[in-house]
Structure 1
């Protein structure tokens, strides 16, 4: 059975006249009649009752017409769908991100994209950088927002989405709370909360190196696995912590933030996507992402 046979059958069934159906299909009547006969032979079913005066559908023909129209409509929908996908008007985008990205302008970028592209479904996955990279390479994510510390990015495009300095988060009532700016040298002996060494070993070494260069080892009283946990522990009074500047938007009571001076690494979030990914939807999303970048 061929698609053209279905098209010819729908035309005859709707016109109930071989001549008009042939004109509608832009073919001669004899080939049209032959194709309908071949279709019936393949099915082993009579679809049309033919006399010299009329053409009528058999009960089987009526049922087959209904099913054929459904096939035609679904095919038309599929054509429109893939055409819209090619133009980036419809489809799906899978976005991975680390937790701290939610404190950046990424949520605003996503909202702006959704407002202008309501027919594109966005699927989100909040995971660590190490968890996102294999998903991206395995085509289970289209774009990932991560923190890179020596990770392999071969075959991937990179775009710095956020670059900002560290600030010091302190419990309310801390003696340094009266200062406008705090230097890294002032932190000698101060109880500090750090991100876990095992989670981001390269970042951990970089921060420790910043303290070594000014002549002392930081007094680390607790290690945690997320920035959110870090700020929560600061609020308990356990110690202070180096956190990205965007964390200062955290309205959690019991924590104050002050700028830090000294030779410290910058805090960055990088967008990654496969070089082979030529999706029009991804390109539209990247255009919005570039509008919301913070790389001062």
Structure 2
């Protein structure tokens, strides 16, 4: 059975006249009649009753017409869908991100993209960098917003989305809140809340190295797995914490943020995607994301 046979049958069934159906399909009448006959022979069912005066549908023909129209409509929908996908007008994009990215301009970038592309479905997954990398390589994510520090990015393209310095999160009422800036040397013997070593071991070592260069080892009282948890614990008065500058946008009661001077690494969020991914939809998303990049050249001193 061929699609053209279904097209011919729909024309005859709707016109109930072989001549008019042939004109509609831009085919001579004899070949059209032969195609309908072959279709009935293949089905083993009579679809059309033919007399010298008229053509009419059998009950089976009526049902077959309904289903053929459905097939035709679905085919047209499929054609339109893939054509829209090829132009980046329709489709699905799977976006992974680390928790701190929600405090950056990424939500604004996503909103702008959704407003410009209302027919694009965005699926989100909040995961750690370590969890997102295999999802990206396993084609379970199209793009990932991660924090790279010594990770293997072979086979991946990158776009630096955010670079900013660390600031110090201080419990409300702490002596540091009366100062404009804090130096890393002021943190000696100060109880500190750190991100877990297991989550970002290379970064953890780099931060510890910053304190070592300042002449002391930090007094770590608690390790947590997210920046949001870090700020929440600072609010309890447990200790101070190094957090990205964008965390200052967290209006949580009980926490004050102060600029921090010292030989510290920059805090970065990077967008990653597979080099072989040539999706027009992904490129459109990256074009919007690029408009919301925040790259600060300021470094701690």
Q: TM-score range by the shorter chain?
A: over 0.9
CA distance in structure 2 between the partners assigned to 1:11 and 1:177 by the alignment: 81
CA distance in structure 2 between the partners assigned to 1:56 and 1:131 by the alignment: 63
Give the secondary structure class of the aligned counterpart of 2:294.
coil
Query: Which residue number corresponds to residue 264 of structure 1?
Result: 264
How many residues are aligned here?
Answer: 296
Unmatched tracts of structure 2, length 5 or more: 297-301
CA distance in structure 2 between the partners assigned to 1:135 and 1:195 by the alignment: 23
Report deviation, 1:78.
0.5
Query: Which residue number corresponds to residue 188 of structure 2?
Result: 188
CA distance in structure 1 between the partners assigned to 2:271 and 2:84 by the alignment: 25
- How do 1:1-296 residues align onto structure 2 when only pairs under 5 Å count? 1-296=1-296
CA distance in structure 2 between the partners assigned to 1:253 and 1:15 by the alignment: 74
CA distance in structure 1 between the partners assigned to 2:266 and 2:244 by the alignment: 8
CA distance in structure 2 between the partners assigned to 1:198 and 1:138 by the alignment: 23
CA distance in structure 2 between the partners assigned to 1:118 and 1:212 by the alignment: 51
CA distance in structure 2 between the partners assigned to 1:43 and 1:222 by the alignment: 74
| Deviating 4+ runs (over 2 angstroms) | none
Report deviation, 1:257.
0.5
Report deviation, 1:97.
0.4
Query: Which residue number corresponds to residue 299 of structure 2?
Result: none
Give the secondary structure class of the aligned counterpart of 1:228.
helix
Report deviation, 1:42.
0.4
Instruction: Give the structure-1-normalised TM-score.
Output: 0.99
Report deviation, 1:187.
1.0
CA distance in structure 2 between the partners assigned to 1:174 and 1:229 by the alignment: 19
Report deviation, 1:214.
1.5
What is the RMSD computed on CA atoms of the aligned residues? 0.7
Give the secondary structure class of the aligned counterpart of 2:176.
helix
Report deviation, 1:125.
0.3
Give the secondary structure class of the aligned counterpart of 2:24.
helix
Give the secondary structure class of the aligned counterpart of 1:64.
helix
Give the secondary structure class of the aligned counterpart of 1:96.
strand
- Cα deviations by residue, 1:251-293 (Å, 9 ceiling, x for unpaired): 1111101001111000000000011111111111101100000
CA distance in structure 2 between the partners assigned to 1:113 and 1:138 by the alignment: 25
Report deviation, 1:27.
1.1
CA distance in structure 2 between the partners assigned to 1:29 and 1:52 by the alignment: 15
Report deviation, 1:215.
1.0
- Cα deviations by residue, 1:205-264 (Å, 9 ceiling, x for unpaired): 000111111211111111111111111111111110000000111111111010011110
Unmatched tracts of structure 1, length 5 or more: none
